[in-house]
Structure 1
């Protein structure tokens, strides 16, 4: 790439100077119509600004042209900037062999494609690039044209009959040989200058037209996809809960009742009594297991009464004494309530297994547009996600709904887990 080549001592002997000069020259050709169109739309604003500075009110015609120019710049800018960006990404191959993928997603319909473009940050970065090209290119390339004419004049000075250099009038011939030598000395400088301008242009183009913002769009899409997957997972979990509750649990309850009735009809000294008693006891145990399983998928109290009531019920079943300070909140989105509940459940399980704590405090508060859930225990501390304590799974669960998980667990305790959703 050009930036690396500029540091190489063999830069002047390579093809990079000529590639840089070609890039700079074609940039001037591309920037000319873009600059003309931009300044044509901006001129009414400059005229209006001059009128305001002079203490006069701009004419109605100027105001009308200002509105037209602004509308065309905002509405038509992307239509010009997008093909310009495509051309520039291809032209950058002259000075940088690294490909720049287009940061735009495809769409089946042209209308949908255009609507997507106006919503993407990458589109407005391309518009900014076009504006910078329109504003800066004329100044830079005018200076470059002056230097180029001066260089050619110096090199051709012996063959010029008469020419002026500042306040000096120089006749052609031997008197101009020193200027020719000066032109020869300055020629490598101009080649380096062309390389520096092209390299700076390339960095700017890659920053505005490259895949950085496209990557941001992709990360946003990944985050949205992860949220959709989390929603789909919760929906599937609710379906399984309903199937277990309304199907398997109902049938198991009926089976348990029939076994209990059969036990009453079978004498205790019958050979079938012992197996029947055992089957009845196992069915009752299985009912308890299934009820706990259904409760673990999504507790009914969370669906019926909301998160504060579910946290209090969760605290009542904890082997470690838990105090709950939960403000009465309006019902939250289902995935937020579900995430907060299972974070609290996993955190209390971790405390019971690893913390050796004697008490836990659970606090639920409103935090801006969301909620904050804090679990504080007086255990040994030193919680580390790398030791498989379930914290990584909690972070993934919280991240799937766009939340944050914060952990403070110094050695010796206490441990504070804060989740913001």
Structure 2
């Protein structure tokens, strides 16, 4: 396995021939340059901070420097350095500033920036002067002697007056350059470790971030369900009622038209078309959010879906309690999609739906005796449902060996709602869903 940091590279025999010595030198040299510039900026902002003007700018500078340092970290640390900051809950500069001011990561970046601007960059420069400057000065002894012609004072301390002495000094410089490459890499590794500790998210922050993502996805699911119910209600109370009125008007017009004439024929055709459109609209409304699901719960809704299936289906969902709306909706549409796939692709003669809620987990099984070999990636419509179930911390599993049988299993952890909202019997609810 290839080394990921200078410390890991130091124990390899090929370290001197690898890119890690140059990476270490580049990281420390960049630190000296960026740190010196940061020192000047912080000095200016420190003066303004006396008048309480530079404090926000000081904080913003720490955030900016933290981002630069995470980018530079890639020179000597090949593992990703993620941004520790959260996405603000609302748009706008004010929300962004409030979020940043409340984060521990922001204050750790400011602490690192102040440390970097005052202490760390001089240490980087000192390490470079000893690890690179001294050997290079010794290596240049022959050149210095050639330029002067008489003698050369190497590193302001050692006088060289002949070429044998100059070449011996250069040889010493080459040995030192090789030898000091090891402690130089160790210093670069320590600097990178300090930067990672202060500038990348800690485990608790990662967990907070994951929790925030899960919560936001759950809110999106709730919003989606609310919008689905609104559309269903608007279609039911608006377009459907208008179509019912239109159908009745056409029926009355047929009664007034002379029988057997072209007008009666056209009215009969329009009446039939309106009835067909009304039936299709009712099916569409039922598909958006079936009323039986909202009124009676998952068990009766699954029984209703089984009654509508092209393949005979046995339903076992007795005693299923009412569950959270998002859970009932996700499980219902998973079951309905599975039944649709059975009717279209499986060649099954019979299917079975089983739903149970035990130990705080909803378990839904849809089985068929078809040919098997179902592939969820083949456009079955279950991929989106699997993502939706995953938002609820659930899983969707398909077991379909060639030759069958096929089993689709949905597992969603969820609490049961109070018994006051328990559903009625599946058959009663099923017939009510078709009214």
- So what's the TM-score if we normalise by structure 2? 0.60
1:280 is matched with 271
2:199 is matched with 209
Measured at CA, do residues 363 and 263 of structure 1 come closer, stay the same or move farther in structure 2, by a change above 3 Å? same
Contact 2:321 2:357 (8 Å CA) reproduced: no
Measured at CA, do residues 190 and 350 of structure 1 come closer, stay the same or move farther in structure 2, by a change above 3 Å? same
Q: Indicate whether 1:108 and 2:94 are aligned.
A: yes
Contact 2:312 2:350 (8 Å CA) reproduced: yes
Aligned partner (choices 307, 318, 340) of residue 316 of structure 1: 307
Unaligned runs of 5+ in 2: 34-59, 116-122, 135-156, 158-170, 413-435
Measured at CA, do residues 373 and 197 of structure 1 come closer, stay the same or move farther in structure 2, by a change above 3 Å? farther
Contact 1:23 1:198 (8 Å CA) reproduced: no
1:9 is matched with 17
Aligned partner (choices 239, 244, 247) of residue 256 of structure 1: 247
2:337 is matched with 346
Query: Alpha-carbon deviations, 1:250-276, whole Å to 9, x = none?
Result: 121122222222322333244422222
- SS in structure 2 at match of 1:374: strand
- Equivalence map 1:145-224=2 (5 Å): 188-199=178-189, 201-203=191-193, 205-206=195-196, 209-210=199-200, 223-224=214-215
Cα distance in 2 for residues equivalent to 1:227 and 1:21: 45
Cα distance in 2 for residues equivalent to 1:259 and 1:94: 76
Q: What is the CA-CA distance between 1:354 and the residue it aligns to? A: 1.0
Contact 1:19 1:94 (8 Å CA) reproduced: no
Query: Alpha-carbon deviations, 1:56-84, whole Å to 9, x = none?
Result: xxxxxxxxxxxxxxxxxxxxxxxxxx998
Cα distance in 1 for residues equivalent to 2:273 and 2:28: 87
Q: What is the CA-CA distance between 1:305 and the residue it aligns to? A: 0.6
Measured at CA, do residues 191 and 400 of structure 1 come closer, stay the same or move farther in structure 2, by a change above 3 Å? same
- Equivalence map 1:70-109=2 (5 Å): 90=68, 96-97=74-75, 100=81, 102-104=83-85, 105=87, 108=94
Query: Alpha-carbon deviations, 1:31-52, whole Å to 9, x = none?
Result: xxxxxxxxxxxxxxxxxxxxxx
1:397 is matched with 388
Q: Indicate whether 1:300 and 2:281 are aligned.
A: no
2:222 is matched with 231
Measured at CA, do residues 355 and 207 of structure 1 come closer, stay the same or move farther in structure 2, by a change above 3 Å? farther
Cα distance in 1 for residues equivalent to 2:337 and 2:72: 56
Q: Indicate whether 1:246 and 2:237 are aligned.
A: yes
- SS in structure 1 at match of 2:287: helix
- SS in structure 2 at match of 1:103: coil
2:431 is matched with none
Cα distance in 2 for residues equivalent to 1:389 and 1:94: 46
Cα distance in 2 for residues equivalent to 1:291 and 1:11: 69
Measured at CA, do residues 395 and 11 of structure 1 come closer, stay the same or move farther in structure 2, by a change above 3 Å? closer
Query: Alpha-carbon deviations, 1:273-316, whole Å to 9, x = none?
Result: 22222222222222212211111111111111111111111111
Q: What is the CA-CA distance between 1:419 and the residue it aligns to? A: 1.2
Q: What is the CA-CA distance between 1:235 and the residue it aligns to? A: 2.3
Q: What is the CA-CA distance between 1:410 and the residue it aligns to? A: 1.0
2:407 is matched with 416
- SS in structure 1 at match of 2:17: coil
Measured at CA, do residues 16 and 351 of structure 1 come closer, stay the same or move farther in structure 2, by a change above 3 Å? closer
Unaligned runs of 5+ in 1: 27-81, 134-140, 153-158, 160-180
Cα distance in 1 for residues equivalent to 2:314 and 2:278: 30
Cα distance in 1 for residues equivalent to 2:275 and 2:28: 86
Contact 2:100 2:106 (8 Å CA) reproduced: no
Q: What is the CA-CA distance between 1:412 and the residue it aligns to? A: 1.2
Contact 1:92 1:202 (8 Å CA) reproduced: no
Cα distance in 1 for residues equivalent to 2:391 and 2:216: 9
Q: What is the CA-CA distance between 1:102 and the residue it aligns to? A: 3.8
Cα distance in 1 for residues equivalent to 2:290 and 2:72: 63
- SS in structure 1 at match of 2:94: coil
